Structure 1
Amino acid sequence: MTTEIPPQLPSDSPATASWFGTVAAASVMAECLRVQADVRPRSAFARLIGRSPLSADSLPWYQGALGELEVAARLKSLDDGWTVLHSIPVGTRGSDIDHVVLGAAGVFTINAKNHQGARVWVGSRRILVNGQKTDHLRNTRYEAARTQELLSAAIGTEVPVRGVIAIVDAKEVTVREQPDDVAVLGAAQLVRWLKKQKAVLGAAQVADAATAVRTAETWSTVPQPLPSTSGLDALRREVEGARKTRMAWGVAVLVTVLAIAIPVAFDYYGRVLGG
């Protein structure tokens, strides 16, 4: 999966105050780097064999960041009729919404979930990942309800909001039954699905809602400084380098095994057939 990491603003940049909603995966990247800062650097031997630089604690944050960045990259293909914001801080406890998308079809809160290589099962009341229950539906419903409450208060009229779960990089997604109030989709289907939704808002309503979603005070009364995300590029290069090293070792081992096994097999069958 190749995903662009957004450019970083220096902490003293005059543009810092206007970053709101423009940096995908901002809070997740910042948390990943915070946790990773406590991880001891790899030894020379660990680098030689391609051990990942990520710890068990930083890995989920890293995967979460890649998932949000993947979804953000796909949302770029929406036209100018849509308003798209990322990593929206909500409330006073550090919570955020991965993506908020607004168009004539209404408002959608999108919860990106990176389940690389996993089997995902979707039912009307639960989502399982490799057979394990998740809180995806509960959390997404809460985000949608909270967004509807905040936007309706800001605009002074009810705004339709629907929650969406975008599954990234799963090995298999089996949809037994879609939940009534949450759409569960593979990330590759997301933009096409959004474009197919029926219009429910007029032009004036879309304009009012767009102003509200772009206003930081709609979401939280707490000032939101730009999260520190510089350093993720370097970490990602290190992770990818370790992965390529492991692959190279795997190929080398396979070639060595074949180099030994093939002559032995020919010699064995030669003696059997000649005997």
Structure 2
Amino acid sequence: MLEERQVRVQRRGGRAVVEDPNLLTIPGVGPRNLRKLVEKGFEGVAQLKQLYRDKFFGKSSQKMVEFLQSSVGIIHKNHAESITTFIKESVDEELKEKNVNLAHNKRITFCVEGNISVGKTNFLQRIANKTLELRDLVEIVPEPIDKWQNVGPDHFNILDAFYAEPERDAYTFQNYVFVTRVMQERESSGGLKPLRLVERSIFSDRMVFVRAVHEAKWMNEMEINIYDSWFDPVVSSLPGLIPDVLST
């Protein structure tokens, strides 16, 4: 069994020919057809896939069947058909995976900014619940308020703590807000829908709320310098936090 899995090397016309044992996993390829494929330069599955991409992709499968019979010497038509079907399905699956990855890589993140109580949440919910045409295209990422109201095993409500004593808890709250943005990004980064609608962004956190609490003297100079010292490096290392579009 071990010998069957090893790559075999033979001498053909003075050159080393590598017989890829993976060829034998293709339906329709036995020792005889393996030898014919290798003699024609198809020393592995990759070469057969490239042949299909170069000459037969988008055409009738019968064309490749005929090529295998006439140019490679696969005598039995059912063997040539089995080889063609296997290669075609393998290439189609690779293209499908590539397209999914491309769609994921090109996904657009659209951030909806705005003051408190201007209707951001209702706007996003309306899109999610009432715009049927967009349901399969849009992922809604609401502001993680639930995480701010339920922290740790003791279920601390850090949002209420901030409102109660902003001069004491402003820095702690703004730090945790950023942490939850990172958590949210990680949770939603694997989505396949091409458009992601996010309620607020790290930039409104920094440029609006952190600035406001600093100007109100609820965050001192040491605290805002600490915040800024890690803000830029973290954002630079996590480009998914940067939206493609900002809207107010």
Verify same fold: TM over 0.5. no
Structure possessing the higher relative contact order (Cα contacts under 8 Å, 6 or more residues apart): 1
Larger relative helix fraction:
2
**Which TM-score band (shorter chain)?**
under 0.3
The structure that is strand-richer by fraction is: 1
Structure number with greater Rg is: 2
